[in-house]
Amino acid sequence: MILIRYLMVGVANTLVGLGTIYFAMYFLHFNVVQSNAIGYSIGILLSFSLNKTWTFSSQDHITSSFIRYLLVLGIGYAANLATVLYIYSHFYLSPYVAQAIGILPYTAIGFLGSRYFAFRTQGRSSAAENKLSNKAVFDKKSVTPCMVDVSIVVPCYNEEAVLAETTKRLADLLQQLIIEGRITPSSRVYYVDDGSRDKTWELIECLAETHEFVHGIQLSRNRGQQNALLAGLLSVEGEVIISVDVDLQDDLSAIKEMIEYYTAGYDIVYGVRDSRETDTFFKSFTAKAYYRLLGMMGVEIIYNHAEYRLMSRQTIEVLKEFSEVNLFLRGIIPQLGFSSAIVYYNRAERYAGESKYPLIKLISLAWQGITSFSSMPLHFITALGLLVSLISFLITAWAIWIRLFTDDAVPGWASTVLPIYFLGGIQLLCLGVIGEYLAKIYSETKRRPRYTIKKII
Ligand code: UDP
Ligand code: MG
């Protein structure tokens, strides 16, 4: 699979490189050497960025991996040239055949060199590796069965249709875990009513009367799932807190495995969807693309994990120190640190009622995730400003060259077109610089804790 990706990048690189050379020669009237230099540079930059992010999804530092990549390409080109010359002079084949054979060592060196030298730290199958490493550690540690005091936090917004069934299933689960001696008999469920407009709160009150383990927290108005969840996480007691949606889409039986991981020494256990079969194509495609985008922007996030997770008391105490108003919990939790594990589960259909996340709310949450954790869009403006400025300088140089050395100069063209590029570039650059400071101010105002101590002995 990685090899196929690498070859696809190679093809894209060749097409773009050749396209650029052609464009530079025929439209910009550059000579062969200049056109080739531009074409190769753009091709190498493109193949480097694609190979780094897509083929090998490497976390190496950009500059050092670029230098290593150039080295690999250099050796590859040398091998290519040597092969072509050798075949051409010894076997008297046509130059085209010699070239075609020369591509083989070039590709082999390029691929192996990229894989094992240029992009050393690769993280594509991190989910799968996590699965394995979790297992290994988990098997090694002797699990001493001890009773854990659990609180389950469930945010609810207009959920009267599912509450009764959820309570029934949670009751069965808790009872089973209590009988097995995994959790204390005082373990409980907290429904957080997020300002529902239907009979959700009345139902919670009623359930709290009839079931000892059911408790409720009522918010004064609808504040959204993230805030409702936080209210629950920060208000309830318990040694371990598990958050789960009320609509039974998250497989409750995974809770047992989460608690096993906790007793094996993990502080945070993420519930990760194994499959997205129940989602529409649109939802699963956009969700996957979004997780990848966040990853590319440097936001630490667990792939395919939503709000189904277990947290130890210690991690909850640390969470209290994050005082930001724009909440995106799935971004904050991995920042807490601590040892974590992953439990995989199949996501089911919603048991009843409708999704409380219409597209607009989903987009707003997605935007929250980007803007709360990444200043990349602001840095992007700076980079764009720099690029446009650079292009404007190149075009200026080109216009001067045309004016001085050819007869093709069009009067008035340079004085009209160049200021547009130049001023556009300068403006973008200035905006970008302002953005850079804004990014600093933004991260300062969030007042996130600068460090978290796990243990002092
Ligand atoms: N929810 C909430 N407040 C809101 C919207 C949703 O507390 O403003 C809760 C909802 O009751 C459910 C969870 O958040 O327990 C996830 O919502 P939903 O299942 O509708 O989202 P989806 O699974 O469709 O993404
Ligand atoms: Mg749901």
Q: What is the pLDDT of residues 157-176, one digit of tens each?
A: 999 999 999 999 999 999 99
What's the pLDDT score for residue 126? 43
For residues 268-281, give the mean pLDDT.
84
For the ranges 47-51, 97-101, 181-185, 266-270, which has the lowest average pLDDT? 97-101
Give the ligand 1 atom nearest the CA of 157: 11
Among 223-237, 238-252, 284-298, 337-351, which stretch is predicted with the lowest mean pLDDT? Answer: 284-298
Task: Find out whether the beta carbon of 194 lies less than 6 Å from any atom of ligand 1.
Answer: yes
Lowest mean per-residue pLDDT among 130-139, 204-213, 354-363: 130-139
- Taking only the tens place, the pLDDT of each residue in 214-224 is 999 999 999 89
More confident residue, 437 or 90: 437
| Residue 369 CA to ligand 1 centre (angstroms) | 17
pLDDT of residue 245: 96
Residue 357 CA to ligand 1 centre (angstroms): 6
User: What per-residue confidence (pLDDT) applies to 135?
Assistant: 47
Report the mean per-residue pLDDT for the chain: 86
pLDDT at 394: 92
Q: What is the pLDDT of residue 148?
A: 95
> What is the C-alpha separation between 369 and 353, in angstroms, rounded?
26
Residue 338: what pLDDT?
Answer: 93
Length of the chain as a residue count: 457
CA-CA distances (angstroms) from residue 385 to 379, 388, 396? 10, 5, 16
pLDDT over threshold 80, residue 93:
no
- Residues whose beta carbons lie less than 5 angstroms from ion ligand 2: 245, 247, 249
Mean pLDDT of 420-430: 89
Minimal-distance CA residue to ligand 1 atom 8: 224
Give the pLDDT confidence score for residue 222 in this predicted structure: 92
Nearest-atom index, ligand 1, CA of 306: 25
393-421 confidence digits (pLDDT tens):
999 999 999 989 988 888 888 888 888 88
Q: What would the pLDDT profile of 212-249 be if each residue is shown by its tens digit? A: 999 999 999 998 999 999 999 999 999 999 999 999 99
Provide the pLDDT confidence category of residue 452 given band limits of 50, 70 and 90. Answer: low
The number of the ligand nearest the C-alpha atom of 354 reads: 1
The ligand minimizing its distance to the Cα of 162 is 1
Determine the pLDDT at residue 169: 96
pLDDT at 132 over 50: no
For 65-77, how does the pLDDT look when each residue is reduced to its tens digit (9 = 90+)?
888 888 988 888 8
* Degrees, nearest 5: CA angle 333-65-63: 85
- The percentage of residues in the chain with a pLDDT greater than 70, rounded to a whole number, is 93
Q: What's the confidence (pLDDT) of residue 144? A: 52
Q: What are phi and psi of 29, to 5 degrees?
A: 55, 35
